[in-house]
A and B are shown apart, each in its own frame.
Chain A
């Protein structure tokens, strides 16, 4: 069921994002083309093209934010909710499917933005140079850190993904909390967001007061001793991941509870 939900979620959102990605790449290509035609006559079109490219880029990221919110609010808590919430599916599956698909599009946007910037900026031979540099960097990293390069990359990726998830889940939780109010839902949603964010900050501050935490924040990472520092650094990273995961669970639990036990679809 989760797979089916995600399939329809991707279909519903893809029709907005794929054209945007395409537009971005097209304008990157146009800009590249116009910029490389020498004479000044082409400067104005080139500038226009790059401005449009910039606008599309910004628009794309704004769209990922809007979609993230809208898919949750409009599809579950508005008219479409009459369809979605009468499907024989548990509320947590709705939450997870929307979370994963939102994350998918955010990551895809970042990758597309990166590729489009390469399309504009890369000169002949640049790609080969870049790849050579990366390989050299990679070799050096393996030399210095050994196989823990993989562990580090893995940890960093997990950390980024969990942070992304917690950002999305706090939004869902705020929308769900806003839904509890009969009137002024918008205001309640914003209020809930502020309250949740503040509680999160307080949570982190309290954590920081634990003995041992100051030890972590006062670590002096010396470049000479990266190998030795690794264990502590891994611990700190793991700690960050765990705390973020706890936040994710809390936001998820709030959202799930409201959708299962406190739903009042107008």
Chain B
């Protein structure tokens, strides 16, 4: 089976600024991967390119061997870094909408998770706090039986207890054949669930390694390696 995500000479320029520069990556299936880097390093750009929300300036990006398009969108579940849902909709309307458009959406899972987090499905998004909205967004994304989950800062705006719940949810809903790519800078929180890390800085990949290798060979935690590599 092909790698779930493959980048080849991937470059993205915004005017004069090069957000991604000749990125070569191969992410295998069945892994939880951390895409780690300081602000503005190109993490979100890479993820947006995988979702066809940006077009590459150069190079290619392939999801399951295909270029981003309708087929890849069916198997990719994406959580953006922002509130992107229609504010006026109720949670149950959103669940209905996701069920309508995505064949692999599992509404029961969604309702279960909402119940655990004590979120009322009848509530309108407009009336929720930012943190609650983010939880709803995450629930919708994780309720899909996708092959690739792209989570851009999933735990940033959320309290520590909910963070734990979210990470547990990711682990629990994790289908062995699926890959989860989490982009974040809250490394110590997620370090324990990661299999593999990609360090990215100023649009270039500086390190790729399995977490085990880092711990065994370098004898450090991912968090301390990060601080070392990205020292200001």
Contacts and interface: CB of A to CB of B under 8 A. Distances in A.
A15 B93 CA distance: 14
Interface residues of B, number: 25
B14 A182 contact: yes
Contacts of A80: 84-86
Nearest to A83: B84
B16 to A, nearest CB: 10
Given A86-B73, A262-B55, A15 B88 contact: yes
Interface stretch (A18-26, A58-66, A87-95): A87-95
B82 A82 contact: yes
A89 B55 contact: no
Contacts of B78: 82, 86
A76 to B, nearest CB: 11
Interface string B38-77: 0000000000100111110000000000000011011010
A191 interface: no
Nearest to B102: A88
A82 B79 CA distance: 9
B53 A87 contact: no
B55 A261 contact: yes
B83 interface: yes
Contact of A81 (B15, B53, B71, B100): B53
B121 interface: no
Contacts, number: 61
A139 interface: no
Interface in A45-85: 79-83, 85
Nearest to B81: A82
Given A87-B73, A87-B101, A88-B70, A82 B54 contact: no
Q: How large is the interface on A (under 10, 10 to 19, 20 to 34, 35 or more residues)?
A: 20 to 34
A8 interface: yes
A83 B101 CA distance: 11
A263 B101 contact: no
A262 to B, nearest CB: 6
Contacts of B71: 88
B86 A12 contact: yes
B157 interface: no
A261 B52 CA distance: 9
Contacts of A1: 101
Interface in B151-204: none
A90 B70 contact: yes
Contacts of A264: 14, 54-55
Contacts of B76: 86
B100 A86 contact: no
A86 B53 contact: yes
A258 B136 CA distance: 32
B229 interface: no
Nearest to B76: A86
Given A87-B101, A88-B70, A89-B101, A82 B80 contact: yes
A231 interface: no
B70 A4 contact: no
Q: Which of B70, B83, B101 has the largest number of chain A CB atoms within 10 A? A: B101
B128 interface: no
A264 B48 CA distance: 9
Given A12-B86, A87-B101, A88-B101, A82 B53 contact: yes
Nearest to B103: A88
B51 A83 contact: no
A265 interface: yes
A263 B12 CA distance: 12
Given A8-B100, A79-B84, A89-B101, 18 more contacts: A1-B101, A12-B86, A12-B88, A79-B83, A80-B85, A82-B78, A82-B82, A83-B86, A85-B53, A87-B73, A87-B101, A88-B73, A88-B101, A182-B14, A182-B15, A262-B55, A263-B52, A264-B14
A-B CB proximity, top 8 nearest: A82-B84, A88-B73, A265-B53, A88-B74, A82-B80, A88-B70, A83-B84, A87-B101
5 contacts: A15-B88, A83-B85, A86-B73, A89-B73, A89-B101
